[in-house]
Chain A
């Protein structure tokens, strides 16, 4: 298995533009998670899905952020419009279960909003 695949690896965009981050989870994993990592706030869980259904989006910072999982092999995190404070590394992770904690992380997307 190729692991969790995220694209792009790096994204530089201007303030106000729409940004879409993509994730392909490991086949057979029922859970998918989006995390954000910043120096100030560390690793934060934004949202997670179970069997393609969003279960908890309480970590999504504001309405500018949205996430979808149209099928078991693809998820997107969209920011519209983007702001400089959204600059961070965004990680996608997938897992067989929720409480087991053995999540497999992708390599992340480094987003820079200028």
Chain B
């Protein structure tokens, strides 16, 4: 069973627009949740993570995500997209002590 589900394989926004990338998790226990970004021809880079404590997590490059237990969601947002944000974004969860990734969402940013 998929542990994290990312809705939308591609998301297109205009520069300056709100970025919203969706991630839902399936877990019977409080999960550890992560967002990673992959720029073309590069490895994955950690954007932010939620383990315990504050449910609104701030990451690098102006991104943030909110853990919502009632909705089993951990959506990634950024108020204003930059061209440099164009990349693939992966939601991930710790499952059986392993980091398991979603299928990824490619963010396209147009001028």
- The answer to whether B101 touches A42, judged by C-beta atoms less than 8 angstroms apart, is yes
- The answer to whether B98 touches A103, judged by C-beta atoms less than 8 angstroms apart, is no
Q: In residues 75-114 of chain A, which contact B (Cβ within 8 Å)?
A: 91, 93, 98-108
Quick check: is A26 within 8 A (CB to CB) of the other chain?
Answer: no
Give the B-binding residues of A (Cβ under 8 A): 4, 33, 42-43, 45, 48, 56, 91, 93, 98-108
- Tell me which of B41, B43, B46 contacts A102 (CB under 8 A): B46
Distance in Å: Cβ of A50 to nearest Cβ of chain B:
10
A56 partner residues in chain B, CB cutoff 8 A: 98
Most buried by B among A42, A43, A101: A101
Knowing that A42-B103, A43-B101, A45-B99 touch, tell me 11 more A-B residue pairs with CB under 8 angstroms: A42-B101, A42-B102, A56-B98, A98-B97, A99-B94, A101-B92, A102-B46, A103-B44, A103-B99, A107-B41, A107-B42
A101 partner residues in chain B, CB cutoff 8 A: 32, 34, 46, 49, 92, 94, 99
Chain B contact surface mostly: strand
Most buried by A among B41, B98, B103, B104: B98
Give the A-binding residues of B (Cβ under 8 A): 32, 34, 41-46, 49, 51, 90, 92, 94, 97-104
A45 partner residues in chain B, CB cutoff 8 A: 98-100
Distance in Å: Cβ of A79 to nearest Cβ of chain B:
20
- The answer to whether B104 touches A107, judged by C-beta atoms less than 8 angstroms apart, is no
A104 partner residues in chain B, CB cutoff 8 A: 46
Closest to B98 in A: A45
A22 to B92, alpha carbons, bound, how many Å? 25
B100 partner residues in chain A, CB cutoff 8 A: 45
- The answer to whether A42 touches B104, judged by C-beta atoms less than 8 angstroms apart, is yes
